Amino acid sequence: MADSNATYTQIHIQLIFAVKFRDALIQNHWEDELYKYITGIIQHHNHKLLSIKGMSDHLHILIGLRPNQALSELVNQIKSNSSKWINEKRFCNVRFEWQKGYGAFSYGKSQVADVINYINNQEVHHQKKSFKQEYLDFLNKFEIEYNQEYVFNDLI
């Protein structure tokens, strides 16, 4: 007999966030370690990592989100713990920080394979368009209202 208290969900979320000022600080020689560290954070909170990849200035993460934690709390954990870890490892010559905010986009099960393929082919996508243009395309595709003045923090 099934547990009447069981909760069954299927929530697929793609997270996108950038290095502060979109600086190209994530280096090839330690990015796999970063991905493994972030995977550990996600799994520790009982979510399922489906894909993680990025470029030197941003990350894409596709997760199966469990309803036991607010998405904003999970993203805060990922960003704060990973930036602390990067700084403790001294991977960068400057203090590493993620930019404030993030994008979160939901998908149905039938779309998951395409999203994983998209995430895994970041280098190809960014030969044709910048991260900023990619991010604005996501916001427009998902019909998310935004003020372009606040989408990215640029150096002044």
Q: Which CATH number goes with the domain that contains 107?
A: 3.30.70.1290
154 within a domain of the structure (yes/no): no
pLDDT digits (tens, 9 = 90+) for 10-31: 999 999 999 999 999 999 999 9
5 within a domain of the structure (yes/no): no
Phi-psi sector, 154: left (phi>0), alpha (psi -120 to 50), beta: beta
pTM of the predicted model as reported, rounded to 2 decimal places: 0.89
153 within a domain of the structure (yes/no): no
Share of the chain above pLDDT 90, in %: 78
Which residues, at least 6 apart from 88, have a Cβ–Cβ distance to it below 8 Å? none
Q: What is the mean pLDDT of residues 67-72?
A: 95
For 73-82, b/e burial (b = at least 16 CB within 10 A) is ebbebbbeeb
83 within a domain of the structure (yes/no): yes
150 within a domain of the structure (yes/no): no
155 within a domain of the structure (yes/no): no
Domain total of the chain: 1
4 within a domain of the structure (yes/no): no
Q: What is the mean pLDDT of residues 38-55?
A: 97
Domain that holds residue 133: 12-144
Q: What is the pLDDT of residue 14?
A: 98
Average pLDDT of the chain to the nearest whole number? 92
139 within a domain of the structure (yes/no): yes
Higher pLDDT, residue 64 or 123: 64
Q: What is the pLDDT of residue 156?
A: 44
pLDDT digits (tens, 9 = 90+) for 132-146: 889 999 999 999 998
- H or E element, residue 17: strand 12-18
> 93 is written with which tokens?
């010559």
